[in-house]
Amino acid sequence: MTNLNGKIALVTGASSGIGAATAVKLAEAGVKVGIAARRTEKLEDVKKQIEAKGGEALVIEMDVVDTASIEAGVKKLVDAYGSIDILVNNAGLMPLSDIDQFKVDEWNRMVDVNVKGLLNTTAAVLPQMIKQHSGHIFNMSSIAGRKVFKGLSVYQACSHGLF
């Protein structure tokens, strides 16, 4: 296994679920973690979990749909730790609705967060990784990109687009 001690990671969607668990695991491996999401109160809880286990986390209020928010978050992380070695693109939403309910606003929001958000965050982090001549980007997706589930048509399209 690669030694991750001292590496710097940015995890989007880190306020709950897989994002929070990923941030905690990375911190346990010695990674300094920038935990990013819109819900900072939830991020504070994740930070407490990380610190209780001896890790280090930086709370970053970030909306992956808002490029200014992302750029500010990336700057905050780089200013605090000097680099970004790992990006975990995990932010996403999964509203459940049948396609014939025509929830177009919901569909657009899902594409904005799940697909464009990943691209926006990658675009903000990649120049730093190029400058460093190193870095790893992990894009989280779902089995829904490969398997059909009732009520998840648009989510499945987003997930498939990330494979």
Other Cβ atoms less than 10 A from the Cβ of 134: the count is 11
Every domain of the chain and the residues it spans: 8-162
C-alpha triplet 158, 100, 64: angle, nearest 5°: 30
For the whole model, what pTM was predicted? Answer: 0.93
For tokens 């999401």, what's the residue? 37
Assigned fold of 8-162: Rossmann fold (3.40.50)
In this structure, the strands spanning 8-12 and 32-37 are parallel
Q: What is the rounded CA–CA span in Å between residue 142 and residue 72?
A: 28
What pLDDT, on a 0 to 100 scale, did the predictor assign at position 163?
Answer: 61
DSSP bridge pairs for 89: 139
Q: Is-catalytic flag, 81?
A: no
Q: What is the rounded CA–CA span in Å between residue 26 and residue 67?
A: 25
Supply 51's token pair. 């610190």
Q: What is the pLDDT of residues 39-59, one digit of tens each?
A: 999 999 999 999 999 999 999
Q: Determine which one of 37, 155, 156, 158 is catalytic.
A: 155
DSSP 8-state assignment for residue 146:
T
Q: What is the rounded CA–CA span in Å between residue 105 and residue 47?
A: 33
Q: What is the pLDDT of residues 72-92, one digit of tens each?
A: 999 999 999 999 999 999 999
Question: Greater confidence, 109 or 163?
Answer: 109
